[in-house]
Chain A
Amino acid sequence: MSGDSTTTPGGATAPDGTGGALKEQPAKPAPKHEGEGTRVVREIMSGNAMISVLAVLVALVIGGLLIVFTDPRVLTAMGYFFNDPGATFSAMWAAVSEAYGALWRGATYDPGSRTWQGRLGIFETLTFATPLILSGLAVTLAFRVGLFNIGAKGQIILGATFAGVVGFMIQLPPGIHLIAVILAGAVGGALWGGIAGFLKAKTGAHEVIVTIMLNYIAVSLVLYLLKNQLRDPSSSNPISPRMHESAMFPLLLGPNYRVHAGLILAVLAVFVVSWLLNRSTLGFEYRAIGANPRAARTAGMNVSRGYITVMLISGALAGLAGVTQLSGTEKMLDADIAGSIGFDAITVALLGRSTPWGTFFAALLFGAFKAGGTSMAINADVSIDIVAVVQSLIVLFIAAPPLVRSMFRIKEVRREGVKA
């Protein structure tokens, strides 16, 4: 069956035969790049978890330096540094401990807060982590097949849009309604991811370019729909009506906290993806394709089908992230529903070493950054951009393992021979 579907355009990807190789001539550079891309992915994944932890630590230290050197009290004290060096250091300590203290309290527990939600920030952390887990899994899964899915943003938007249509336009009995919303979201995301997978498999179009472009199309598309078909008739602004109550995830801990049943969905997804990658035949194929697509092809695996199905599943996971946003916290669809989740997902997957559970914990950390970052910005008056800087530094250090290794004199664990 798969053979049938690949006869005409799939000549180029035919596993056997010299004819295929001849036809492949014009598209020659593409597989070469693909080899380079997978090499990078493999290199990033092969670093050990220690690198992840150290990357986070170093990023936090540099973030701390930024906090220190942008703090007005420190700058004032530095003006008379040579008269009273102690003042500078105590101002530095005050600045960084206030900022990171607020970050920590905001993400975990803050006894000084006036409201319940502020007191137990740990639940905010979980709330923020929910869409990050799902979209991080989306990126992780594609990584394992050697694909960079930069399109989580577009897939989240499409997932949320599909979920929204079911959630605020249709009335269904409770329970069934939420399930319909979840399925619609998965379909929406899968559709968007599937386009990239299909183009990659059938034409060799590079998934990075395609998914980035699909992000733009998704934003414009949802904005168009929000201005026309999906707009709340009672408002002239591009926002959808509210989701019906029956289409919302139930709150896990009552109205004082935002943490919702989407978290359970996300944890289930971690188990499913973990099983898929490590225990299923499909997962074995995925890993084989990720390790070396040409070898996988020679071994008789259908690489095109692998690309398409993985992007369908990856898109569906990102679509579910969109559902948790819409049915979990946002309640209404707008063009900004994906926020920065689509790109944070890439960082989360990198930090999680492209393993499902690694992604889970990385998403928790990023959720904590998000929950704590708000508190740090407001209560310690440190720009929330510091959090963005720390997150970006984490990516930098993970993408450059030799740097972290040389900083901490860690021996190279990679086997050079394999690569050559």
Chain B
Amino acid sequence: MKNLLLNTTKSVKRGAMVGTIVMSAAALVLTGCGEAPPAPGGSDGASANPAAADYLGCIVSDSGGFDDQSFNQSSYEGLTKATKDLGITMKEAQSSATSDFAPNLATMASAGCNLTFTIGFLLAEATKTAAADNPDLHYAIIDDNSIKADNVKPVVYDTAQAAFLAGYVAASVSKTGKVGTFGGINIPTVTIFMDGFADGVKYYNEKQGKDVQLIGWDKATQQGSFANTFEIIQEGTKITNNLISEGADVVMPVAGPLGKGAGDAILAANKDGKSVKLVWVDSDGFVTAPSYKDILLTSVVKTMGEAVETIVKEDLDGKFDPTPYIGTLDNGGVALAPFHNLDGDVSADTKTQLDEIKKGIIDGSIKVESAASPK
């Protein structure tokens, strides 16, 4: 009896499995047909510059991958744009673990990449080694300023400057008198946003005589809410729900893909009658995360794409320069994105004040300090 039952389930299982395989194969073929472009002879981007076609611009991601809606993606898009604009050839490699960095870089070198972008401080050691092994090749590392070598250009961002503006505007639109933030992991490239945000809120309180509180980050102790992951999106939802239930009505997630979790939590809370707004980071969320258009107050943007393209162009022209690039409000490397759909929520006074603060930060009369700021 028991055997019979077992055998039946077994054959059912087997049938189901074959079915699944057949179905997925069919789906595969169908999509293959469906996506086929109607006309033959697709061009892979006309080369603007014939000499540039031999130039290899390469990029190695960290474990976030090129679809992280964050710095890997922005840098990748920058290089893709350079490929189109300058007619260079591009090679790419995604890393899924730290142990992939060195082999990816070695393979890039063996392919003869003229310039290789490495994304994130985690790649610093591997980049340093690869640069030392291949003195004739150039490297640029994003978000790390630890390498001093003739063939490595560090690219870093003083994000606290733009986050300061975001903190100020967040405090100005808060009705509950509480704004919140949380991070992926407590590391400098994350906390630099939170420090700037905290300072911006504090500055608003000083100037306007208000007492808007920041939940989720204490600049003095450098402790706060962290998901301890950049991968599990639901953690972002969880933390955001906590922040909202503590009264925050503006939330800035600094956690890469977890921003989506935060956005979903806010959408759900607003359905229940709350009025919570989202501050996106790294890229303009209005473009990269359009599903949150209607709750998106603004974004703290690092304009990595531009920096990447500029560096490629300089190298292509034989003007590679290993001095670090530091993105600031002044050179446009970091910026506060437009308010887009929520433009009406930000008062004209606040907008004027933001312009003044921006000038103040640029000329140094307003100090934005973070332990994580690039020196």
Contacts and interface: CB of A to CB of B under 8 A. Distances in A.
A72 interface: yes
Nearest to B188: A236
A339 B100 contact: yes
A75 B31 CA distance: 10
B31 A69 contact: yes
Given A76-B36, A118-B106, A339-B97, 5 more contacts: A75-B36, A76-B37, A115-B109, A337-B98, A402-B14
Interface residues of A, number: 59
Interface in A366-420: 370-371, 374-375, 377-379, 381, 383-384, 400, 402-403, 406, 420
A237 interface: yes
Contact of A124 (B38, B58, B91, B103): B103
A329 B107 contact: no
Contacts of A262: none
B17 A403 contact: yes
Contacts of B372: 236
Contacts of A75: 32, 35-37
Interface in A129-183: none
B273 to A, nearest CB: 36
* Most interface-central of B32, B107, B188, B372 (chain A CB within 10 A): B107
Contacts of A325: 99
B28 interface: yes
B103 to A, nearest CB: 5
Contact of B110 (A118, A220, A332, A338): A118
Contacts, number: 134
Given A258-B102, A330-B98, A339-B98, A377 B37 contact: no
Interface string B118-146: 00011001000000011000000000001
A236 B156 CA distance: 15
Contacts of A124: 103, 106
A237 B106 contact: no
A117 interface: yes
B104 A77 contact: no
Interface string B172-192: 000000000000011110000
B5 interface: no
21 contacts: A69-B31, A75-B37, A76-B40, A76-B41, A79-B37, A236-B371, A239-B125, A329-B102, A332-B125, A336-B63, A336-B98, A336-B122, A339-B96, A374-B93, A374-B107, A378-B104, A378-B107, A383-B94, A402-B10, A403-B17, A420-B3
B85 interface: no
Interface of B: 3, 10, 14, 17-18, 25, 28-29, 31-33, 35-42, 58, 63, 91-94, 96-100, 102-104, 106-112, 121-122, 125, 133-134, 146, 185-188, 228, 371-372
Contact of B185 (A77, A223, A374): A223
B185 A238 contact: yes
Contacts of A371: 103
Contacts of A110: 110
B36 A78 contact: yes
Contacts of B111: 113-114, 118, 378-379
A42 interface: no
Nearest to A84: B40
Interface in A248-267: 258
B271 to A, nearest CB: 32
A332 B108 CA distance: 22
A235 interface: yes
A202 interface: no
A334 B10 CA distance: 44
A259 to B, nearest CB: 12
Interface in A41-76: 65-66, 69, 72, 74-76
B40 A77 contact: yes
B33 A78 contact: yes
Nearest to B186: A227
Nearest to A420: B3
A119 interface: yes
Given A114-B110, A118-B110, A402-B14, A79 B98 contact: no
B147 to A, nearest CB: 12
Contacts of A115: 106, 109-110, 133-134
B108 to A, nearest CB: 6
B97 A114 contact: no
A334 B122 contact: yes
Nearest to B108: A378
Contacts of A119: 110
A145 B133 CA distance: 47
Contacts of B99: 325, 329-330, 336-337, 339, 341
A47 B305 CA distance: 53
A287 to B, nearest CB: 25
A331 interface: yes
Contacts of A2: none
B35 A400 contact: no
A354 B28 CA distance: 34
